[in-house]
Amino acid sequence: MHSSRIQLSLQQLEAFVQVAALGSFRAAAAQIGVSQPALSRTIRQAEQTLGARLFDRDTRHVTISPVGGELLPIAQRILREFDSAFSELGQFMQGSRGRVTVAALPSLGSALVPNAIAAFKKHCPQAEFTLMEAPAEVLLAAVEDGRADFGLSVRPAPDLRLQYQHLLDDSMVLLCRADDPLAGRSSVPWSVFAQRPFIASQPNSSIRPLTDAVFLQKGLSIRPAFESPSVSACGGLIGAGLGLAALPQLALDLVNMHRLVAVPLVRPHASRPIGVVTRIGRTLPPVGRAFITRVLALHDPRVYAIPRA
């Protein structure tokens, strides 16, 4: 056997392993689905490459040679690894394995994404996820520059290289203390914020543009009593009696609702549009496409129950 690298093809290794397993050229040819002369030619080419016989054969018996006995476990391992590798590639191409990076608003990272990932992994347990949470502006930038495969966020501005697929409308509610007179109301108009201290979200959040737009539409000049750094901090400020806030329903998962109540906001009814955001022209990994398809197809567009005291 030459000391240089041995060049045996997968076809030759498979033919060799089948003859060794079945002890017959005829049976091995039938198993592989080739003619016996073709199989014999394949084995002969392998022997020429090795410079040694793989089988000792006569008219009635086929016996593996010492070189064949040495080659057999190596060939079996190579074929197993080849099958395993291409099985993994097939699973990747089908979207049942691979890694996907999802960027989500903090409220969605708490209320929607974990359940979506859990449901997906029941069918595709080998899929792996990296979850990023960020305000809308940072999140959309992560999708645009490729740090995230896709985002779950509000509708992006039209000047960005992003595509938006609508998922749900996240209705706005008023958040107040349970002992507030407003807590017992079935709904509250937006004009209430003209009479009570208003706790606003940060300007770079997905909530602030929506509340600002409603106030502009209603002709309300509202000066925030506080600009809360986060949704959870907003709940703390309200609990301390420092004002009221307008929040999307899904954001309530980030709030300690003990002693707080959410009431629907009306006149007008307003909601935060939530959808899947991808970068135009980017090829997503198959697992990412499969996850998006399942989220869009299986999402329950129900109206989320509003926590009450």
Q: List, for residues 245-284, the tens digit of each pLDDT value.
A: 999 999 999 999 999 999 999 999 999 999 999 999 888 8
pLDDT the model gives residue 89? 60
pLDDT the model gives residue 307? 41
Q: What is the enclosing helix (H) or strand (E) of 121? A: helix 113-123
pLDDT the model gives residue 4? 58
Label residue 1 by pLDDT band (50, 70, 90).
very low
pLDDT the model gives residue 308? 40
pLDDT at 123 over 90: no
For the residues 173-188, what does the mean pLDDT come to? 97
Q: Which domains does the chain have, with CATH numbers?
A: 10-93 (1.10.10.10), 98-309 (3.40.190.290)
Mean pLDDT of the chain: 87
pLDDT the model gives residue 309? 37
pLDDT the model gives residue 120? 87
Q: Where are the beta strands (DSSP E) in the chain?
A: 55-57, 62-64, 97-104, 126-133, 150-153, 162-177, 188-189, 199-201, 226-228, 245-248, 260-266, 271-279
pLDDT the model gives residue 96? 59
273 in Cβ contact with 206 (< 8 Å): no
Q: List, for residues 275-302, the tens digit of each pLDDT value.
A: 999 999 888 888 888 888 878 775 544 4
Q: Which phi and psi (to 5°) does residue 226 adopt?
A: -145, 150
pLDDT at 116 over 70: yes
DSSP 202: P
d(CA 286, CA 94): 6
Q: List, for residues 7-51, the tens digit of each pLDDT value.
A: 888 899 999 999 999 988 989 999 999 999 999 999 999 999 999
pLDDT the model gives residue 204? 85
For the residues 76-105, what does the mean pLDDT come to? 75
Label residue 2 by pLDDT band (50, 70, 90).
very low
Q: List, for residues 198-213, the tens digit of each pLDDT value.
A: 999 999 889 999 999 9
